[in-house]
A and B are shown apart, each in its own frame.
Chain A
Amino acid sequence: MGCNSSVAYRRSEKAIRAAILIQNWYRFTKARLETRRRYSLSIFQSIEYADEQDQLQLANFFTFMLDHCTHPDSVSHILTSPGVSQVVDEGLSLTEFENKIDVPDSYYGPRLSFPLTVEDANALLHAFRNEQLLHARYVLQLLCETRRVLKEMPNITHLSTSYSKEITVCGDLHGNLDDLLLIFYKNGLPSEQNPYVFNGDFVDRGKNSMEILIILFAFLLIYPNDLHLNRGNHEDYIMNLRYGFTKEVSKKYKDHGKLILCLLRDVFSWLPLATIIDSKVLILHGGISDTTDLDFLNALERSKLKSLMRPPKSVRDRQDQLKERIPTTRLSKHIANQNVAGKTQHISSSGSTEPSGSNLPQDPALKEWKQMLDILWSDPRSQNGCTPNKSRGGGCYFGPDVTAKLFERYNLKMLIRSHEFKPEGYEISHDGKVITIFSASNYYEEGSNRGAYIKLNPELIPRFVQYQVSKYTRRQNLQERVGTIESSALKSLREKIYAYRSELTSAFAQYDLNNTGRISVSDWAVAMESVLQLELPWRMLRAQLVQMTPNGEVDYMSCFYDLKIGQPTKQVQPALVETLCRYRKDLEIIFNIIDKDHSGLISLEEFGQTWKLFASHLGIDMCDESLDKLVLSIDYNKDGHIDFNEFLEAFHVVHRLEKKANS
């Protein structure tokens, strides 16, 4: 240390101690921020997965409706008729659209001419940056041409990185146009020198799914050998009903929306399933299972499977024999993983009630469905084995052993997939063999995550490029970002809490025998989990959700104070209101299906019938009288029809203390 004077030594010692203390506090603060960030993302993810399971329930409901409705013809007509059958007609051509659909002079958006050129693509990019819409005629022509081109392609596309080209691979975009524009800005537009693979989930959730599709399809037509698209689990019309794409199209294209949706249903089913680069790198949306058979996948007729949400009929018949109704409790993801811990043999995704059991005789339709479900829905996990993906309700969890086996069988080196949100935009697993790439930044909320894309060079070494779109000109600091994410997550969670109010109240009451309005923290946490089943850290969240009494107990009704229903509906039972609140999304989908002419109105009778069926499927006890009263109260102009959007608005949960309007 040298010959410091004792004073200098002491001062320096003091300084160092101070520095260490500050360092400790800094780490303490960072850790707390990190914890808040993580549980916020956990909230988003739990609610999203619970939602996806509900989606499967809904699909089951349609099946139930079809199989049990007293007027099967009308119902099946609703569910299977695409509305306009001639769209599927091969003969429909560009000129037919040109003749039938007029583009007014007042339209200043891009006017496409086929075959498309780079000028057209640039015009589209420019228009969408300025928030213009492409006219319906051009959309339909584009979709028509896209379908024609996709039909020529095999299920699995083989590419090579010849001529020292780097191939760029992008993951889920989910309607985030800003991310796509940012990728093109950083990485250049697609061209012969700049090939791209987009790995599915282009649509749903974000508000520009249509524009993303238009851009991707346009480049596909211009550079069919250099722009490649793989199908994702959201390229599925039933998923679109729930997750926003159908709504987006209907709103943007009022007159031609139905036609566009119909054609899209077809186009999605013609999207290729996978891409293989240099015979070594497999790219597909979800993942694999222990039964994945690439040769079989390459040979099947992919366009037959318009949606994977409903199993083929032969499977449904068998399912009906096994049980009446699908259970409504969700299997804990912790329990699911515990079941496989320590098992050395791989487990195929079978169970006595699972339709995908390998012990059942090989039904070709079943095999096709399962193979596609597996590649579009599965997720990798670090444990060996292959088990049903309980949190999603479809596909598998596949372990490193499953990956290794597939690689050996097909002589592969790497699997690139998407499908799962990753805070850094990408993640490497299975000892470097599996890469998850996710390209939708700020997926849950502003600041929630980065997006990324992969640059694959001719040696097949991946390089990752991350980015994050920001609507703020000044980047938020970590504290602010975590604050934004956290409050958004908690808002979603509170809405869920509201939707389960009566069940929660009775669960709390079980611990509060003297009706004091207070229970212990421990009991409160148990009650919350037993009703909501979201596997969240309730004790950590407690301070944000409820108020405490001076003696350290939970005032359990305080979690409902901040919330109320949008419009008070007087004559209606609170329990009914709550149920409608909880199933609002499902109802929206059902109504949209019933409302074939997209007028926004359905008849009272249709509403009543559907609601009764839905309620019985869910096992909800409902007396006819209360439903009739409700129905009458919403038929505001008494003309026998319900404007269901208004109706659903009435059951939208509102946050009483919402600060500013979303700007």
Chain B
Amino acid sequence: MFLFADGAVAETEKKIIEAFEVFDHECNKTVDVREIGSIVRSLGCFPTEAELHELLAKVEEEEPTGYINLEKFLPVMTKVLLDRSYQPIPEDVLLHAFEALDENKCGYITKEELVKYLTEEGNMTFVISVFK
């Protein structure tokens, strides 16, 4: 466990609050649960769907209301940022991923193709296993 200067923690918290408030329409310290992914990513994090679900479980209310409170979100997200969790996978790896799917070497893949890989019957078991 690293020791952080108070300044770094405070600064991190302020960053998180700012990002949260961008999505807080009514300025009442809550956001729609569906926006949490956007907020986390806008802070530079790169969670997988599984990681996002884990995070949501920590910040949701006991009985989910569809809204997330800043109060609960802040400490969880602060830890994420200070621990440098969910780092982005480098761009060259992304390029390899495209190349893996672009069998005909067109230089692009279509949305339909992508959807097919993610949802095709035979593949679903595997996709889900990656998510778990």
- Which residues of A are at the interface with B, using a C-beta cutoff of 8 A? 1-2, 12-25, 27-28, 30-32, 34-35, 38-39, 42, 333-334, 337, 341, 381-383, 521-522, 525, 535, 537-540
Contact = CB atoms under 8 A, between A and B. Distances in A.
Interface of B: 7, 10-11, 14-15, 18-19, 21-23, 26-28, 37-42, 46, 48-49, 88-89, 93-94, 96-98, 100-101, 109, 114, 117-118, 122-123, 125-127, 130
A523 to B, nearest CB: 10
Nearest to A23: B118
Given A21-B94, A24-B46, 6 more contacts: A1-B125, A19-B101, A22-B109, A31-B42, A35-B19, A537-B22
B101 A522 contact: no
A16 to B, nearest CB: 6
B10 A35 contact: no
B34 to A, nearest CB: 11
Contacts of A42: 22
Given A537-B21, A537-B22, A13 B98 contact: no
Contacts of A337: 26-28
B70 to A, nearest CB: 11
Nearest to A9: B126
A16 B42 contact: no
B39, B46, B100: which has the most chain A beta carbons within 10 Å?
B100
Contact of A341 (B18, B28, B49, B94): B28
A218 B117 CA distance: 58
Contacts of B126: 1, 12-13, 16
Contact of A539 (B18, B46, B117, B122): B18
A24 B48 contact: yes
B28 A28 contact: no
Contacts of A341: 28
The B contact surface, by secondary structure, is: helix
Nearest to B51: A24
A21 B97 contact: yes
B18 A540 contact: yes
Nearest to B25: A382
A32 to B, nearest CB: 6
Contacts of A382: 26, 28
B27 A334 contact: yes
A487 B27 CA distance: 25
Contacts of A14: 100
Contacts of A537: 18-19, 21-22
A28 B51 CA distance: 14
Nearest to A381: B26
A35 B117 contact: no
Given A337-B27, A341-B28, A15 B21 contact: no
Contact of A383 (B15, B19, B28, B118): B28
B48 A20 contact: yes
A357 B96 CA distance: 67
Contact of A25 (B14, B94, B101, B109): B94
B98 A22 contact: yes
Contact of B97 (A18, A35, A522): A18
A21 B89 contact: yes
Given A16-B123, A25-B94, A333-B27, A525 B14 contact: yes
A221 to B, nearest CB: 41
B37 A31 contact: yes
A32 B14 contact: no
